[in-house]
Each structure stands twice: as C-alpha cells, then as structure tokens.
Amino acid sequence: MCLAVPMKVVEIKGDMAVVESAGLKREVGVMLLDRVRLGDWVIIHAGFAISKLTRKQARETLAVFEEMQGLG
C-alpha cells in the first residue's frame, strides 16, 4: 500500500524542493505544481509533490496518521 504524506517545503531548488515532516527531510520533484513556495504544505507521493494543502489540512491529516500508529 502506498500513502501520500503531507510535508512542508523548506527549500526550493528549481524543479526540486526539500520537504520536511516529523524531522524527516527528503528531496522531491515539484514540477507537477504551480508556484510552490517556502512554507507551503504539499502532498508527497512517489517522490513528487502532487497537491497543495492548507496548514490546517496538513495538521489534520498528520493527526490521523499519528492516531493510526497507536492502533497497531
């Protein structure tokens, strides 16, 4: 199963960006989205940012992930 994960953009390098969530950083492609900016929250799937979301949406989604971890 694949999950799409919300991550915050902390650095932009042309068509690539460094994103971070829960202390984990990774470099991803942002060429699928228009106008990605520092501080934006994006959904990451298979190494690419596929959608933008609000800070509130990101927090809610990350809270669900944390809750799911506690169920296992």
Burial 49-58 (b: 16+ CB within 10 A, else e): beebeeeeeb
- In the chain, what are the domain boundaries? 5-71
**According to the model, what pLDDT value does residue 2 have?**
62
For domain 5-71, which CATH number applies: 2.60.40.420, 3.20.20.120, 3.30.420.40, 2.30.30.140? 2.30.30.140
**Stretch 30-36: mean pLDDT, rounded?**
96
**According to the model, what pLDDT value does residue 44 have?**
95
CA distance 26 to 19: 6
CA distance 4 to 6: 7
Q: pTM of the full predicted structure?
A: 0.85
